[in-house]
Chains A and B, each alone.
Chain A
Amino acid sequence: MKQWAWLTILLSVSALAEKPLKLWHAYRGGEERAIELAVKKFTAETGTQVELLSVPYDAFSSKLTSAIPHDAGPDVFIFAHERLRQFHRLKVVATTTTRVDRTKYFPSTVDALEVDGELYGYPLSLKTLALFVNTSLVTNAPTTTDELLAELARTTDATQYRYGLAYAAGDFYLHAPFVFGFGAKLFDESGRATLNTPGMAKSFGFVKSLQDRGFMPKEVSGALVKSLFNEGRAAMVISGPWFTGEIEKSVAYRIVPLPIVSETGLPLTPWLGVEAALVSSRTEQPEQAHALAKYLSLGEATALRVDPGGQIPAEIAAYERPEVQQDPIISAFRDVATRAAPTPNTLEMARVWEPMKLALRGVLQGDVLPDQAGALAERRFRALNRERPADANPLPFVLVALLAVAGLAVWQWRRRGPAQAFAKRYPEASRGLAYVAPAAIGIGVLVVIPFAVGISLAFFHHDAGDYSFVGLANFVDILTSKGYRITEPLSFWFTLAVTVAWTFINVVLHVSIGLFLAILLKDPLLKLRGFYRVVLIIPWAVPNYITALMWKGMFHQQFGAINGLLAAFGIEPVSWFTHFSTSFAANVITNTWLGFPFMMVVSLGALQSIPQDLYEAAEVDGASKWVQFRRITLPLLKPALLPSVILGSVWTFNMFNIIYLVSGGEPGGATDILVSEAYRWAFQRNEQYGFAAAYSVLIFFVLLAWTRITRRLSGPEAA
């Protein structure tokens, strides 16, 4: 019967169905294989063709929100439920309220997909946190925090770099269980965030004491957790299902739920993340799309999700399967999952991450006392969540803009003056314009139009797809640093000062190192000159996002190469990203490494253009090397170096990749520069595009002023 129903549907829409369904995901490895197999089965059973696309995780969300509203997106996509509210507000997901059989899935996984009483998507798998216990080090897994503390004291030996516990403590996702375990709530009855509570302070205090007593290492990253656990140097680890793939076969371990807090009697309750197959609201083939999404969440597809996917399925029936029952990991996670609570999919929740991370890192690094951290988080939360400014009347702005354009045109016209005829003044105008036209059209369409749109965005407030005209409110808020002190990292003026310092220091280092090396390399008779030049250019040839990730690893506190080198000279290891000065220095070192070759090459060229006889004449006159450098080299270098310095300063001013990937703004956003701050407002703080655009316009004016100044300095010919 069911088959027939399918056939009629297929036949009735066969004209449309010729187009394959598009399914987008961010899976890799086993998970990707699992979805490919499931889709193959779906096609075999229904005849509907499916095109799969695996998108890099970093680009996935922005790709979806760009593509779907423009009808260029997928029919079905797989995403975690935390972003559901945003997808819902952008109207890119279709409801599944009447299509989902709630009894087939764990209730909490269906709850997670609810927005304003409607369901969206089909739950596929879940992710949550558990305690991984190395059974050769800990025989009885702790069930309370008192037992945990006793085990930690027993298994920790700081002198041997052995720890009782390791987890990415600076990540709020991993801290959340402690928040709930100590009885704190993130939101009050009305859904407002309440971050400054006694329970919150206790949770911070507890974790801080674990670190202070040496039970767990400082500045833990995922990579470190993995290597510590695999080497038997961490007895216990808090992590999720993805960690099972990282554990080496030789390590015997068990997975148990997180312990109960002895003080409150409440369990450390981790968040439950639900991965769902979401149907696009713009799909042209809704029936097939829903059929595919549903198929992926049940039966055979779930079995594949377990093996080879290695995921924890949301379907209840999956746990009846013998192969699942025999899998100790998956059955363990089933227990864990029943104690977890879905991460709220509210917009408020999306806004809590950054303030909580700030507070948590502050506590762990010893800059903030545990009982003051909540207040810090709450203050940052308010600052980030700008109220929508009052609507403004666009008419005056349009008039001003029109007047400005008209004024400019008149001014140009009058400046040209009637004295000369056009043809006489510009005898080659037609040829010149013809030569310029292709480039001008290209730049006009693809650079100037988006640029103009970007600028006009700055006068709007963006909220989930709705733009409202707010006049200059964004600029006023930025320039008066509304909601926070001018000396806080969030303030425009603070960030501007950091950016200027960043640019200045970098350019000075680039030029001085580049020039110095160029002088060393200048002598054409120098042996190995070609070799040196080739090696010294390498940093320039490496793509800068690779450079950034590479240096980020080298600056790791415990295991990075830089601290290793320092230790070789008997210097204490530096915790690079916990203080402003060292974090800033780490950024500068990285950027200097990648930037000096450009200036070296420019300087080499400039040096070669200085006539050698000038030096010979100076030699004859008895001038010292230093005098020669100051009186001949520097003055003659200036015109050659200046344009490169201007260009270099503009590039450095907007050097997003290094800041974002190396320090990531740590500590607490203090090392962010203006571009990375604008990026955060646009993409990490609820898509406040208008505010971000206002930031960009300000960046633009700062740079414009800078190039005007340098033009003055360099005289009329250059720039």
Chain B
Amino acid sequence: MKRSGLTVALIHMGLVLACAASLYPVLWVVKMALSPAQSLSLSINPFPETVTFDHFRDVIFSYDSQGRWLFGRQLLASIVVSGATTLVGLSLAVTAAYALSRFRFPGKDAGMQTLLVTQMFPATLMLVPLYRLLQTLGLLDSWGGLVLVYSTSSLPFCVWMLKGYFDTIPRELEEAAVMDGATPWQVFTRVVLPLARPALAVTALFSFMTAWNEFILAATLINDAARFTLPVALQQYVGEWKTEWGHFAAGALIVSAPVMALFFALQKFLVGGLTAGAVKG
């Protein structure tokens, strides 16, 4: 299909405008992080006038009174918690979604409905019962508790997405594998999972983000500053009386960076992973 030069120019113009709109607020945060002041930046110009890395230095080299490198430990906490959440969430979601897509068993429809329904109850109100529950399970003040809560709360979305994707994978492939003597488990791990890579990538990204960005639960459940996750540390820059905007902005960029990197790394899967399941419809 040939396009005229004018159409192409218009397309580029539209896209450039959209890109400017999506970059502008981010540049603002970059400016706040790089400017020497701790206050909100109050001008239209999104580029910093003077550049300093003080805020980044303060945020990264933060130690507590016992000389523990807080930022490093909190980064580790974030990585461990988010990584474990991704693993646990993904393995639970993959098996459940596969069963929901392939097998008939009692309670299947009710299960699918329950998944959707749990998304509709506001999470803030679950805090009180959840705390009690984790105490009963002995999971207060532990990363394990956080991982369990995060992975189960992202499960409904993950299962839904993966089920949709599995539905699009032709059963014939599995049947062929069975003919060749593969066990059901082999069919699942050798045939179905590799085919579902885009959807797996998206689900993993989603679970990771849930855990990586959450702070209310993390601040409530964990009782040691060195085991807080990074968003909790970030929240500490927002005080009752004043907000350290420079530190907050620098922290915000550090917290967002890995998620952005993942987005970019996985972006070729995003398009296929999110929609292929639904396309079959």
Q: Which residues of the other chain, B, contact A432 by a CB distance below 8 angstroms?
A: 99, 102-105, 108
Cα–Cα, bound, A440→B92 (Å):
9
Q: Which residues of the other chain, A, contact B270 by a CB distance below 8 angstroms?
A: 537, 601
Cα–Cα, bound, A661→B243 (Å):
14
Q: Is the CB of B104 within 8 A of A428?
A: yes
Cα–Cα, bound, A679→B126 (Å):
11
Cα–Cα, bound, A427→B102 (Å):
12
Interface centre among B42, B93, B114 (most CB of A within 10 A): B42
Q: Which residues of the other chain, B, contact A540 by a CB distance below 8 angstroms?
A: 263
Produce 1/0 per residue, B224-254, CB < 8 A to A.
Answer: 1100000110011111111111001000100
Q: Is A431 an interface residue (CB 8 A)?
A: yes
One of B96, B152, B164, B275 near A606 (C-beta < 8 A): B275
Q: Is the CB of B260 within 8 A of A436?
A: no
The distance from the CB of B275 to the nearest CB of chain A, in whole angstroms, is 3
Produce 1/0 per residue, B26-58, CB < 8 A to A.
Answer: 101100000000011111101000000000000
Q: Which residues of the other chain, A, contact B216 by a CB distance below 8 angstroms?
A: 58-59, 62
The distance from the CB of A414 to the nearest CB of chain B, in whole angstroms, is 14
Q: Which residues of the other chain, B, contact A535 by a CB distance below 8 angstroms?
A: 19, 22-23
Q: Is the CB of B25 within 8 A of A517?
A: no
Q: Which residues of the other chain, B, contact A604 by a CB distance below 8 angstroms?
A: 271, 275
Cα–Cα, bound, A448→B49 (Å):
52
Q: Is A629 an interface residue (CB 8 A)?
A: no
Cα–Cα, bound, A429→B42 (Å):
63
Produce 1/0 per residue, A564-592, CB < 8 A to B.
Answer: 11001000000000000000000000000
Q: Which residues of the other chain, B, contact A689 by a CB distance below 8 angstroms?
A: 125, 128
Q: Is the CB of B117 within 8 A of A72?
A: no
Cα–Cα, bound, A331→B18 (Å):
56
Q: Is the CB of B259 within 8 A of A703?
A: no
Q: Is the CB of A70 within 8 A of B131?
A: yes
Take A28-B239, A432-B99, A602-B275 as given contacts and tell me if A546 and B124 are in contact as well, using a CB distance cutoff of 8 Å.
no
Q: Taking chain A's interface residues, is the majority helix, strand, or loop, or is none over half, making it mixed?
A: helix
Q: Is A512 an interface residue (CB 8 A)?
A: no
Produce 1/0 per residue, B106-124, CB < 8 A to A.
Answer: 1010010011111111101
Cα–Cα, bound, A538→B91 (Å):
28
The distance from the CB of B53 to the nearest CB of chain A, in whole angstroms, is 19
Within 8 A of B (CB), among A206-221: none
Q: Is B148 an interface residue (CB 8 A)?
A: yes
Q: Is A718 an interface residue (CB 8 A)?
A: yes
Q: Is the CB of B44 within 8 A of A564?
A: yes
Q: Which residue of A lies closest to B232 (CB)?
A: A56
Q: Is A226 an interface residue (CB 8 A)?
A: yes
Q: Is the CB of B151 within 8 A of A442?
A: yes
Q: Which residue of A lies closest to B272 (CB)?
A: A605
The distance from the CB of A249 to the nearest CB of chain B, in whole angstroms, is 14
Q: Which residues of the other chain, A, contact B91 by a CB distance below 8 angstroms?
A: 438
Cα–Cα, bound, A360→B209 (Å):
40
Q: Is the CB of A609 within 8 A of B118?
A: no
Q: Is B191 an interface residue (CB 8 A)?
A: no
Q: Is A504 an interface residue (CB 8 A)?
A: no
One of A442, A520, A683 near B11 (C-beta < 8 A): A520
Cα–Cα, bound, A540→B22 (Å):
10
Contact count A vs B, C-beta below 8 Å: 354
Interface-side segment among A146-154, A277-285, A449-457: A449-457
Take A440-B96, A543-B255, A546-B256 as given contacts and tell me if A53 and B223 are in contact as well, using a CB distance cutoff of 8 Å.
yes
Take A53-B223, A66-B131, A429-B104 as given contacts and tell me if A678 and B124 are in contact as well, using a CB distance cutoff of 8 Å.
yes
Q: Is B6 an interface residue (CB 8 A)?
A: no
Q: Which residue of A lies closest to B202 (CB)?
A: A601
Within 8 A of A (CB), among B56-113: 64-65, 91-93, 95-96, 98-100, 102-106, 108, 111
Produce 1/0 per residue, B8-23, CB < 8 A to A.
Answer: 1001101100110111
Q: Is the CB of A435 within 8 A of B95?
A: yes
Q: Is A390 an interface residue (CB 8 A)?
A: no
Q: Is A542 an interface residue (CB 8 A)?
A: yes
Q: Is the CB of A640 within 8 A of B220?
A: no
Q: Is B279 an interface residue (CB 8 A)?
A: yes
Q: Is A187 an interface residue (CB 8 A)?
A: no
One of A67, A435, A538, A641 near B103 (C-beta < 8 A): A435
The distance from the CB of A284 to the nearest CB of chain B, in whole angstroms, is 15
Q: Is the CB of A240 within 8 A of B128?
A: no
Q: Which residue of A lies closest to B260 (CB)?
A: A541
Q: Which residues of the other chain, B, contact A520 by a CB distance below 8 angstroms?
A: 11, 14-15
Cα–Cα, bound, A543→B120 (Å):
21
Q: Which residues of the other chain, A, contact B231 by a CB distance below 8 angstroms?
A: 543
Q: Is B178 an interface residue (CB 8 A)?
A: no
Q: Is the CB of B279 within 8 A of A707?
A: no
Take A443-B152, A561-B24, A703-B120 as given contacts and tell me if A609 and B279 are in contact as well, using a CB distance cutoff of 8 Å.
yes
Take A446-B152, A604-B271, A605-B271 as given contacts and tell me if A435 and B15 are in contact as well, using a CB distance cutoff of 8 Å.
no
Q: Is the CB of A601 within 8 A of B130?
A: no
Q: Is A54 an interface residue (CB 8 A)?
A: yes
Cα–Cα, bound, A427→B25 (Å):
56
Q: Is A682 an interface residue (CB 8 A)?
A: yes
Take A40-B65, A72-B141, A453-B129 as given contacts and tell me if A536 and B19 are in contact as well, using a CB distance cutoff of 8 Å.
yes
Q: Is A341 an interface residue (CB 8 A)?
A: no
One of A554, A682, A683 near B28 (C-beta < 8 A): A554
Cα–Cα, bound, A559→B262 (Å):
34
Q: A429-B105, A643-B164, A654-B120 are in contact. List 16 more A-B contacts (CB 8 A).
A: A53-B224, A57-B238, A70-B135, A435-B98, A439-B155, A449-B129, A528-B12, A538-B260, A541-B263, A559-B40, A568-B44, A597-B22, A598-B274, A605-B274, A643-B160, A647-B157
Contacts A/B (CB < 8 Å), 20 sampled = A40-B65, A56-B232, A57-B236, A66-B131, A436-B95, A439-B93, A442-B152, A447-B155, A454-B126, A520-B14, A523-B1, A526-B8, A532-B18, A543-B213, A559-B43, A638-B281, A640-B279, A679-B124, A693-B125, A717-B281
Top 5 closest A-B pairs, CB basis?
A639-B281, A605-B275, A432-B103, A559-B42, A564-B44
